[in-house]
């Protein structure tokens, strides 16, 4: 699979500036309730598209992560156990105002909390389901250091889709992610969630352009399918600041298309793949929403 190497961003990575009525409404609501979105914290290139379309990915448990991955723009520090215990109800209130049919929740890593924040995550989903029973919830969870009790808590919290990102291929994990993160542990998290609750859809994501080889991407796909992960997203890594890892390659859209086809051949139900695709991506969410509302069984 060829890659295109260039010193600056190619034309296909041009991003339109955010704006519009829906964008302004979400921004004001998030600010008024003192909530955080991964869209802002991680400088997601799709913020204009998603917010303009009335959707956003909320980030739970503050804006400070206890880990320091080399690709991520979210700030690193020690929150020292501080937690907004009213956040689950605030999130449920916000989503009630926005009247979203499908919502995505993620969080910073909170290694400072005894359960990594699993109960807080779960209480937020439960609050949403109580306020808006028809809303489909996807959660993008940390690894919780593979703690069995924490994983069991989130597996049965009511979320229809549970995601955890492996982020990169196995060889580059230590270079790209925080030292406490581990490729096999991430696979174990997804495997345990699926075994605990076979009814949920599991999902993961990989960034490209960090120096991975085509065969390593395909191996990661095989590793994820071996544990029945249903959805995989593939996107281009974009360097947030000069302090973060440099982009090694800008992958051409035709290569992303080839990888999407490889993913579908391997049995992923959906494999959104493109330069601006991120783990929370509307195309994938729409596909899953259709399956869930139709009551499709999980034959993956």
Q: Which residues contact 100 (CB under 8 A, 6 or more apart)?
A: 54, 55, 135
Q: Are 53 and 22 in contact (CB under 8 A)?
A: yes
- pLDDT for 298: 53
Task: Give the span between the Cα atoms of 264 and 262, in whole angstroms.
Answer: 6
Give first-to-last CA distance, the chain, whole Å. 27
Global pTM exceeds 0.85: yes
14-30 pLDDT tens trace: 665 555 555 566 666 66
262-292 pLDDT tens trace: 999 999 999 999 998 877 666 567 788 888 9
Q: Is residue 63 domain-resident?
A: yes
- pLDDT for 1: 53
Comparing 33 with 211, the larger pLDDT belongs to 211
Q: Is residue 300 domain-resident?
A: no
Q: What is the rounded average pLDDT for all residues in the chain?
A: 86
48-69 pLDDT tens trace: 555 555 456 788 998 899 999 9
Boundaries of domain holding 126 = 14-293
Q: Is residue 171 domain-resident?
A: yes
The number of CA neighbours under 13 Å toward the Cβ of 105 is 34
Q: What average pLDDT does this structure show over 192-218?
A: 97
Q: Is residue 2 domain-resident?
A: no
Contacts of residues 10-14 at CB distance under 8 Å and 24 or more positions apart, as own/partner, are 10/250, 12/252, 12/253, 12/275, 13/45, 13/236, 13/238, 13/250, 13/275, 13/276
- Residue 42: is its pLDDT beyond 80? no
| CATH code for position 84 | 3.20.20.70
- The three-class DSSP label of residue 268 is coil
8's tokens: 């600056």
- Which of these ranges, 6-15, 126-135, 201-210, has the smallest mean pLDDT? 6-15
Closest CA to 109 of 153, 148, 59, 170: 59
Q: Is residue 205 domain-resident?
A: yes
Q: Is residue 3 domain-resident?
A: no
- Residue 40: is its pLDDT beyond 80? no
| 209: enclosing H helix or E strand | none
Q: What average pLDDT does this structure show over 223-231?
A: 97
144-160 pLDDT tens trace: 999 999 999 999 999 99
Domains: count for the chain: 1
Q: Are 83 and 113 in contact (CB under 8 A)?
A: yes
Closest CA to 296 of 189, 160, 197, 164: 160
Phi-psi region of 154 (alpha: psi -120 to 50; beta: other; left: phi over 0): alpha
Per-residue confidence at 7, pLDDT binned at 50, 70, 90? Answer: very low
Percent of the chain clearing pLDDT 70 (strictly above)? 80
Q: Is residue 9 domain-resident?
A: no
Q: Is residue 8 domain-resident?
A: no
């Amino acid at each position: 699979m060829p890659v295109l190497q260039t010193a600056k961003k190619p034309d296909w990575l041009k991003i339109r500036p955010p704006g519009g009525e829906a964008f302004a409404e979400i921004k004001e609501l998030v600010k008024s309730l003192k909530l955080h979105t991964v869209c802002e914290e991680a400088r997601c290139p799709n913020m204009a598209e998603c917010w303009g379309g009335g959707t956003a990915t909320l980030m739970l448990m503050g804006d400070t992560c206890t880990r320091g991955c080399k690709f991520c723009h979210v700030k690193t520090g020690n929150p020292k156990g501080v937690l907004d215990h009213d956040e689950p109800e605030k999130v449920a209130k916000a989503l009630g105002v926005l009247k979203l049919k499908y919502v995505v929740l993620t969080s910073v890593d909170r290694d400072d909390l005894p359960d990594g924040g699993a109960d807080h995550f779960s209480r937020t989903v439960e609050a949403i389901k109580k306020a808006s029973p028809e809303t489909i919830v996807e959660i993008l969870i940390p690894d919780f250091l593979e703690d069995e009790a924490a994983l069991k808590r989130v597996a049965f919290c009511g979320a229809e889709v549970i995601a955890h990102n492996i982020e990169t291929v196995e060889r580059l994990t230590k270079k790209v992610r925080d030292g406490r993160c581990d490729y096999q542990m991430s696979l174990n998290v997804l495997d345990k969630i699926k075994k605990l609750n076979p009814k949920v859809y599991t999902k993961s994501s990989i960034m490209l352009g960090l120096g991975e080889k085509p065969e390593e991407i395909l191996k990661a796909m095989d590793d994820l399918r071996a544990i029945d992960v249903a959805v995989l997203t593939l996107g281009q890594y974009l360097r947030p600041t000069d302090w973060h890892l440099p982009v090694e390659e800008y992958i051409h859209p035709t290569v992303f298309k080839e990888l999407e086809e490889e993913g579908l051949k391997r049995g992923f139900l959906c494999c959104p793949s493109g330069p601006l695709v991120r783990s929370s991506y509307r195309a994938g969410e729409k596909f899953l929403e259709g399956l869930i509302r139709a009551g499709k069984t999980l034959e993956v």
